[in-house]
């Protein structure tokens, strides 16, 4: 079976998206009031 490599732009886009998500998580953890609000909204769904 012949394996075709993925285009470089797809790999770069995936790494960029992963970096943005990780930076967003770090940003949220530095703002505990935001996390409390999100957890309360999530809890209100149940």
Specify the pLDDT at position 28.
Answer: 84
Provide the pLDDT for residue 1.
Answer: 58
Q: Which residue in the block uniquely carries the two structure tokens 């995936």?
A: 14
Tens of each residue's pLDDT in the chain, 46 residues: 566 777 899 999 999 999 999 999 898 889 889 888 988 999 998 8
Phi then psi for residue 29, to 5 deg, are -70, -20
Q: Within 13 Å and on the Cβ side, how many CA atoms surround 26?
A: 6
Reading the block at residue 18, the tokens are 């992963």
């Amino acid at each position: 079976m012949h394996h075709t490599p993925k285009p470089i732009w797809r790999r770069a886009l995936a790494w960029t998206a992963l970096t943005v998500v990780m930076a967003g998580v770090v940003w949220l953890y530095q703002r505990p009031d935001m996390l409390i609000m999100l957890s309360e909204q999530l809890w209100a769904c149940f």
